[in-house]
Amino acid sequence: MEKELVTQLNALAHANRLDLFRLLVRRYPAGVPAGEIATALDFKPNTASAYLATLKQADLIRQERQGTSLIYSANLDGVRGLFGGLLTGCCQNRPDICHSLASAPIAQPTPERPLKVLFLCTGNSARSILAEALLRREGAGKFQVFSAGTRPASKPSPAVLQLLQSKGYDTSELNSKQREVYAGPEAPKMDFIFTVCDHAANEECPTWPGQPMSAHWGLPDPLKAQGSEAERHLALLEAYATLKTRIKSFAALPFETLDRISLQHQTDAIGGQIATN
């Protein structure tokens, strides 16, 4: 056990390997192709391969082959072993040291105390704007909803606003904002943060006030769809429909019966849902 713990700590005692490990944790339970990892972290392919091999040898990540691609994901069993070795062994199970967020109570969404939800993507012009508008309607007043971008556009896409307006949404309060607006000490304390594009999920996040839960609900950028005007509009409709499916599932969760671990599993699973019609 001691040798394994030292191996894991050594694997993480390197800034670039730690960045890689954090990326895979942010994307969990999904896996990430090796090429995407190298691009996201600006590593040379052979350097990324060496870092991945070290983390895999330490049992902190998993590798599987899908066609010609190698896909990597965080290995929760290995991570639990690391924390178990540190907290249970080194800290002798002291409750003041080993406090777990899993035991923290979950706030119940009500109109009097709405849960705060932030949707993140790169440009904050399409997917996160759609998600913000959808949860405001589907949440029936039980959620206070925000959106932002890691590299926001100057304003939401006119095509997105037009689609929402055609479906009866009020778009007057929708605008593109920097992610850091919600990361400062004076910012609202979020209960949930959902990334809706891979690029935003791959980036290191600020330290969010309030220790919000997070999940990745990635989907392709509809504004990058190719083809005719009708085909591009169809891509936007598909993004809207998929986000609506996910957000209706989220709004319908039985928050009063779920502990934090169950709620995390539920929100992770929602990220894999697609439109049913």
The CATH number assigned to the domain holding 179 equals 3.40.50.2300
Domain match, 19 and 153 both: no
Mean pLDDT of the chain: 89
Residue 99 has pLDDT above 80, yes or no: no
Last residue of a domain, one of 68, 99, 130: 99
Number of domains in the chain: 2
Question: Could you tell me if 177 and 145 are in contact, meaning their C-beta atoms sit under 8 angstroms apart?
Answer: no
In a shared domain, residues 69 and 21: yes
Say yes or no: 74 and 188 in one domain.
no
Is pTM, for the whole model, over 0.75?
yes
108 within some domain:
no
Q: What is the pLDDT of residue 101?
A: 55
Residue 56, domain member (yes or no): yes
Does the residue 73 lie in any domain?
yes
pLDDT band at 111 (very low <50, low <70, confident <90, very high): confident
Same domain, 186 and 234: yes
Q: What is the pLDDT of residue 85?
A: 74
Give the pLDDT score at 89: 61
**Residue 265 falls within a domain, yes or no?**
yes
User: 96 versus 64: which is more confidently predicted?
Assistant: 64
- Determine the Cα–Cα distance for residues 179 and 173; give it in Å rounded to an integer: 17
Across the range 5-9, mean pLDDT stands at: 91
- Indicate whether 120 and 87 sit together in one domain: no
Average pLDDT over residues 7-22: 94
The pLDDT of residue 76 is 85
For residue 73, give the CATH number of its domain. 1.10.10.10
Domain identity same for 59 and 175: no
The reply to whether 133 and 41 lie within a common domain is no
In-domain check, residue 179 = yes
* Residue 26 within any structural domain of the chain: yes
Q: Tell me, yes or no, whether 135 and 258 share the same domain.
A: yes
Q: Are residues 35 and 129 in the same domain?
A: no
Asked which of 36, 67, 99 is the last residue of a domain, the reply is: 99
pLDDT value, residue 44: 96
**Percent of all residues in the chain with a pLDDT value above 70, rounded to a whole number:** 92
pLDDT band at 95 (very low <50, low <70, confident <90, very high): low
Domain boundaries, position 200: 115-270
Strand-by-strand arrangement of the 69-74 sheet: 32-33, 69-74, 61-66
Residue 221 has pLDDT above 80, yes or no: yes
Overall average pLDDT of the 110-138 stretch:
95
Q: What is the pLDDT of residue 13?
A: 94
Judge if 120 and 229 occupy the same domain.
yes
Q: What is the pLDDT of residue 275?
A: 78
165 and 72 in a common domain: no
93 within 8 A of 79, measured Cβ to Cβ: no
d(C-alpha 211, C-alpha 213), whole Å: 7
Last residue of a domain, one of 99, 128, 145: 99
Find the range with the poorest average confidence among 2-6, 228-232, 237-241: 2-6
DSSP line for the chain: -HHHHHHHHHHHSSHHHHHHHHHHHHHTTS-EEHHHHHHHHT--HHHHHHHHHHHHHTTSEEEEEETTEEEEEE-HHHHHHHHIIIIIIISTT-TTTS--GGGSPPPPP-SSSPEEEEEEESSSSSHHHHHHHHHHHHTTTSEEEEEEESS--SS--HHHHHHHHHTT---TT----BGGGGTSTTS---SEEEE-SHHHHHSPPP--TT--EEEE-----GGG--S-HHHHHHHHHHHHHHHHHHHHHHHTS-GGG--HHHHHHHHHHHTT-----
189 backbone dihedrals φ, ψ, rounded to 5°: -85, 110
| Residues 196-222, mean pLDDT to the nearest whole number | 87
Is pLDDT of 211 > 80? no
User: Over the stretch 66-86, which tens digit does the pLDDT of each residue have?
Assistant: 999 999 999 988 888 887 777
In a domain, 229, yes or no: yes
Tell me, yes or no, whether 277 lies in a domain. no
pLDDT at position 184: 80
Quick one: pLDDT band at residue 196, thresholds 50, 70, 90? very high
